[in-house]
Amino acid sequence: MSLAAYVAALCDAIYNCQGDQLAAMLDLNGTRVRQAKASLSNQRSRRDTVFSGFKKLSEWPHLKDFAEAHCLSLGEPPEEAYAQQTVAAKALRQAFGEDEIGAWLVRPMIKLAGNLYTAAVAAEAAGSNTAATQGPLEACGGELVALFGVARKRTDDPAKRMGALSIAVTLFKIYVTLNNPQLGRNLIAAIQSPSFPPFDSFPASQRVTYSYYLGRMAILDDKLEEAAGHLEYALKHCLKGAHANQRRILYYLVPVHMVYMRLPTQQMLSSHNLSIYADIAEAMRTGNVQQLNDALSQHQWTFIQMGTYLVLEKLRMAVYRRLFRRVQALHAETCDPSRAHQVPLKLFHAALVWLKDEWYQELDECECLVCNLICRNYIKGYVAHEKGIVVLSKQNPFPPAEQLTLGDPL
């Protein structure tokens, strides 16, 4: 398909209010866009083709501006492509706010939001921002917030509001990339407000993606209980055959579950290609601190890039608790039953030394570790410093996960 043919098809889709056809035409990865880009000649010829091809849209000037800017972005360097996509977004936003434009424009608007994000990512990677200016991703976020505002305020036409959630998801992608979940608070509040369309009225695909990114942002905000709820919803409602999407969700849900002592099976990790967590889960089962340290060190950069490293660091205390529990069990087998709850610190220290844990090589350091475990409710009891023993509670000495203090206790 030549550029002229592409322009003509795009113009017909807009003129005839064919939303699905227009959305397909806007797909930057679609065959028609690739063919149109491949046929591009010199810049002047391209502009003449574009500007002459949309004359019959003159009665809808905003839609005309949108279509022209989109076509002019094709094949351009990242910075120019992003600039043209921004022009297209502004024009489409103005068109969408007009009363005579119906809900047929919802799907094209969703596709355009994705195009603007893609262009912003490319421009950001090309280094088009400087220290003195706002980066493309941040600027893209501002444009999409405005687009979201127009979509959700169309209370006169409920069908036109159905693109709001998808635009919010694209915004969440930006906030996660910028590692700044706080930017999404107002957006979440708007979606959870009574005036927003019911959550269940949106397509399952949008609800799953929204919950997935909500879970990721909760992880960045260290709200792990919220993260678990959102990611569990996403996994439950994800298509059974969508294995790639299930893996994306589980990549974040597995470490959150492990914080709450819900360990994945080796079969589950293998079936979803998540073997990166296998050694960590095994370390939690056995209390092998060295295995945990090795696994975190081996995959450290990957975990940092994915935003899960700090979550996995929280597992360290759970591994120490499991190790102490095994030490206590061995002690109970060899001592007077009446003293099974009195565990000598030197036994736990010997286990740490044997595992070559460089953080707790001294007995005093080991005692501090046990005090920390007690303070965080991982262990119920107290340390008898003069006697060098840990006196465990005779009732429930190892509290369940919901009673643990995951953050730093006050």
pLDDT of 39 > 80? The answer is: no
> Scanning the structure block, which residue is given the tokens 């286990």?
351
pLDDT of 401 > 80? The answer is: no
Tell me what percent of the residues of the chain surpass a pLDDT of 70: 93
Going from the N-terminus, what domains does the chain have, and what CATH number goes with each? Answer: 3-202 (no CATH), 219-313 (no CATH), 321-403 (1.10.10.10)
pLDDT of 410 > 70? The answer is: no
**For residue range 301-326, what is the model confidence (pLDDT) as tens digits?**
999 988 899 999 989 989 999 999 99
pLDDT of 131 > 50? The answer is: no
Task: Label the pairing between strands 342-344 and 381-384.
Answer: unpaired
